[in-house]
């Protein structure tokens, strides 16, 4: 709870004081009370009444819009202006016209976000695969309900679902729509609530109907045999992963990969992409490809352009001469959104409570809900027939003496006594008497009455059949199965997303092919700049340029395909590839590694190496006299670039790092001027990166290790003087002739 403070030392004025003629009052409220009274109701409203779909596959905004259109007779009727529908929907949905129209757009056939659109649209409704293509205003477009909506509203007027008051209590609206098929699995839906989200992918309607019918017959049915894989409105090719799909079907969470469809025109030497993953857009793809071309990572493309028109989506890629289209597309699949992962989170409201469910659980809940809807419909029809039967039984009694009925009516002096007199005269109740009294004069004949009473037997049989249906779960399941068969026959469409079986993601095999292999010389400066120079450029100018105060530190002659490990002063190691760096010239400063590798703030690159096949080990020398030997394989990862924390021990400052491919003699020099020469084979390699190592040099309190380097890189002449058979030792003082030039250190 915040309190007011003053900066001039004066006492704070009362909060209700009159300042500048205005009276201000500040109410203090504990944060816990604010959360409970203000935030929690908002959060629950977003979860229950806005963002999460229910078992009919619709959010409240969808349901209100569709029901309004149904009430406007737009199912099977002529189209009307979208603005008209938006205005009428406001009676049920208390939101602005823009929000309601956006909802309508995403349900429309023109936008293409659904496998089976619910709104039949005319005009510009944009496209789901375009980020920048804006839809026209509501006054320019026209809509009506798509024919499939008949399955959403079937028997809605026969007490199949509950109705509640709208927000102002003037109208009624359904809590759910009585869908005759599991629309929740067919209609793709996304929503972000407070603290949770929902992401439902669409499935093929025919497969969903077959799966539901099989599930009705056998609850233990193997769902994956009939529900093969998700089906997306934008098509593409789904890379079949049985384990991943099984996880999604079982838990309701997971992801699967979809890639674009393309064709190659040999005559024009170009690639046409005509279907893309549902989760991306044409603009995002083109932007990423352009970025790769600009960065020099894709050199096979001459031009890329968006040729989408009224005939549909099309991205055209012009190829350079000699380009292999298959290899290029494999590269683009990995580097661009042309192949993307589609996430799944089957979070659905069940009885007002959000639940993440697998496909079997969803079908179980939908079947239970649909059975109740069908039972209510049958019970409604049975009740109506019973009421009619009751009236006809009263009419049959009149048949016994029509003249007497006429006489009773004629002899009754007051109108309100007609019904009681008929009730007394024939022994019928008030409802039957009113029905008899309302018969027109021309129908008071034996023929009419005989026809009506002949229905008694038929009605009795129908009522008995309906009663049996209401009490029989098996018969209700049969009704649902029959309706699903009809839905499949009327509305099922072929799959849009093809399934690719036994597809292996070619990563390493194509990596070496797509990365150019040529010799390079790499320079690593003391300040952390890296330059990659080709032999041709190096021959033209070999004098390296460095930033003021910087200078040469490490140098390698290697290949463009090699990897690079960079160690920093924050005990971290960054793995990258030399191919990620642009070829440069000796006159350039190169890439600043902390920026290039997105290092942490104030993190500095200390040392780097070319690991090759990750054989060998690294020697870490610390200023407390310890040395640690770590196997190089401990830094091998499967990703293209990865930051490894805890790359070496943080117990003491690091002095030097040496790469050991084959064992050699190393020299360790302290600030006291002492030197120790030992063979690296005397240190056993460890697999733990953060090992503290072993003590190799004993130091006096005020001294520390200054540097360590291979003996071959020193100016030491009297090597025997400094060698030691056992470790640790203090080392011998360096003679003048052994000092040589001052060596470079990490510090």
> Which tokens in the block code for residue 675?
């030197």
Q: What is the dihedral of CA 658, 662, 665, 667, to 10 degrees?
A: 0
Q: What spatial distance separates the first Cα and last Cα of the chain, rounded to whole Å?
A: 49
Closest CA to 576 of 591, 557, 555: 591
Residue 553, classed as helix, strand or coil, is strand
Count Cβ atoms within 10 A of the Cβ of residue 616 and give its class: 0-12 exposed, 13-18 middle, 19 or more buried: middle
Q: Are 518 and 557 in contact (CB under 8 A)?
A: no
**Spatial distance between the Cα atoms of 560 and 582, rounded to a whole number of angstroms:** 10
DSSP class of 673: S
By the 8 A CB rule, do 82 and 142 touch?
Answer: yes
3-class state of residue 641 by DSSP: coil
The alpha-helical segments, DSSP class H, found in 579-680 are 593-596
Cβ atoms of 395 and 453 within 8 Å: the answer is: yes
Active site residue 435: no
Task: Name beta bridge partners: 256.
Answer: 342
Name the nearest CA neighbour of 202 among 232, 247, 234: 232
C-alpha span between 344 and 323 (Å, rounded): 37
User: Could you tell me where the beta strands, DSSP code E, fall in 625-696?
Assistant: 626-631, 642-645, 654-660, 665-670, 674-679, 694-695
Query: Among 42, 140, 167, 614, which one carries the catalytic annotation?
Result: 140
The secondary element (H helix, E strand) that includes residue 445 is none
- In angstroms, the CA 590 to CA 530 distance is 5
Pairwise CA distance, residues 499 & 592, whole Å? 45
CA angle 398, 402, 403 (to 5 degrees): 145
CA distance to 104, 245, 361, 487, per residue, from 469 (Å) = 38, 38, 25, 22
Q: Report yes or no: 638 and 590 within 8 Å, Cβ to Cβ.
A: no
Q: Which residues pair with 629 in a beta bridge?
A: 619
The C-alpha atoms of residue 71 and residue 177 are separated, in whole angstroms, by: 13
- Cis? peptide before 728, omega within 30° of 0: yes
Residue 249 to residues 201, 206, 230, 246, 276: CA-CA distances in angstroms?
Answer: 12, 17, 10, 5, 24
**d(C-alpha 137, C-alpha 129), whole Å:** 19
Q: Which of 552, 177, 217, 539 is closest to 369 using CA atoms? A: 177
The catalytic residues are 140
């Amino acid at each position: 709870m915040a309190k007011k403070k003053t900066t001039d030392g004066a006492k704070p004025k009362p909060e209700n004081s009159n300042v500048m003629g205005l009276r201000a009052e500040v109410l203090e409220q504990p944060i816990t009370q604010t959360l409970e009274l203000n935030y929690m109701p908002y959060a629950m409203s977003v979860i229950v009444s806005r963002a999460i779909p229910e078992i009919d596959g619709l959010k409240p905004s969808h349901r209100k819009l569709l029901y309004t259109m149904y009430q406007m007779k737009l199912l099977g009727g002529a189209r009307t202006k979208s603005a008209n529908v938006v205005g009428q929907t406001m009676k049920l949905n208390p939101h602005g016209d823009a929000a309601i129209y956006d909802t309508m757009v995403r349900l429309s056939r023109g936008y293409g976000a659904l496998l089976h659109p619910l709104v039949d649209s005319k005009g510009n409704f944009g496209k789901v695969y375009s980020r920048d293509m804006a839809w026209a205003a509501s006054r320019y477009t026209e809509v009506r309900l798509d024919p499939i909506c008949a399955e959403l509203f079937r028997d809605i007027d026969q007490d199949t679902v509950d109705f509640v008051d709208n927000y102002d209590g003037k109208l009624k609206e359904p809590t759910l729509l009585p869908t005759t098929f599991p629309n929740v699995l067919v209609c793709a839906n996304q929503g972000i609530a407070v603290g949770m989200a929902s992401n439902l992918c669409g499935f093929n309607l025919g497969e969903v109907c077959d799966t539901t019918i099989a599930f009705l017959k056998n609850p233990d049915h193997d769902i994956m045999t009939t529900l093969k894989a998700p089906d997306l409105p934008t098509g593409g090719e789904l890379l079949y992963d049985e384990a991943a799909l099984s996880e999604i079907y079982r838990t309701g969470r997971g992801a699967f990969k979809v890639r674009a469809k393309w064709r190659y025109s040999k005559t024009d030497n170009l690639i046409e992409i005509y279907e893309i993953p549902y989760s991306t857009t044409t603009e995002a793809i083109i932007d990423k490809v352009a970025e790769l071309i600009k960065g020099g990572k894709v050199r096979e493309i001459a031009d890329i352009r968006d040729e989408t028109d009224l005939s549909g989506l099309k991205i055209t890629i012009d190829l350079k001469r000699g380009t292999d289209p298959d290899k290029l597309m494999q590269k683009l699949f990995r580097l661009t959104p042309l192949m993307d992962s589609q996430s799944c989170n089957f979070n659905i409201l069940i009885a007002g409570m959000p639940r993440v469910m697998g496909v079997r659980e969803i079908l179980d809940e939908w079947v239970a809900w649909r059975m109740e809807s069908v039972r209510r419909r049958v019970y409604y029809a049975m009740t109506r027939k019973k009421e009619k039967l009751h009236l006809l039984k009263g009419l049959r009694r009149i048949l016994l003496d029509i003249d007497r009925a006429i006489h009773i009516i004629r002899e009754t002096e007051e109108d309100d006594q007609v019904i009681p007199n008929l009730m007394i005269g024939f022994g019928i109740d008030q409802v039957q008497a009113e029905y008899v009294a309302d018969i027109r004069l021309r129908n008071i004949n034996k023929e009419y009455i005989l026809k009506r009473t002949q229905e008694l037997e038929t009605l009795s049989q129908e009522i008995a059949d309906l009663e049996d249906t209401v009490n029989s779960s098996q018969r209700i399941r049969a009704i649902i199965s029959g309706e699903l068969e009809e839905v499949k026959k009327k509305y099922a469409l072929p799959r849009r997303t093809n399934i690719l079986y036994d597809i292996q993601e070619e990563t390493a095999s194509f990596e070496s092919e797509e990365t150019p292999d040529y010799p390079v010389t790499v320079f690593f400066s003391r300040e952390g700049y890296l330059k990659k120079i080709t032999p041709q450029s190096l021959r033209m100018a070999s004098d390296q340029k460095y930033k003021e105060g910087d200078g040469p530190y490490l140098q390698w002659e290697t290949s463009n395909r090699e990897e690079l490990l960079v160690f920093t002063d924050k005990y971290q190691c960054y793995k990258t590839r030399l191919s990620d760096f642009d070829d440069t010239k000796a006159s350039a400063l190169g890439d600043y590694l902390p920026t290039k590798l997105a290092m942490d703030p104030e993190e500095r690159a200390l040392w780097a190496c070319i690991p090759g096949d990750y054989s060998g080990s690294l020697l870490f020398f610390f200023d407390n006299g310890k040395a640690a030997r770590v196997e190089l394989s401990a830094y091998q990862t499967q990703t293209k670039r990865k930051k490894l924390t805890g790359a070496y021990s943080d117990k003491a400052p690091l002095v030097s790092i040496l790469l050991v491919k084959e064992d050699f003699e190393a020299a360790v020099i302290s600030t006291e001027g002492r030197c120790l020469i030992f063979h690296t084979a005397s240190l056993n390699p460890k697999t733990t990166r953060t090992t503290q190592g072993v003590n190799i040099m004993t130091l006096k309190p005020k001294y520390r290790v200054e540097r360590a380097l291979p003996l071959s890189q020193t100016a030491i002449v009297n090597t025997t003087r400094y060698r030691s058979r056992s470790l640790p030792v203090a080392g011998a003082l360096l003679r003048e002739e052994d000092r040589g030039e001052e060596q470079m250190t990490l510090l």
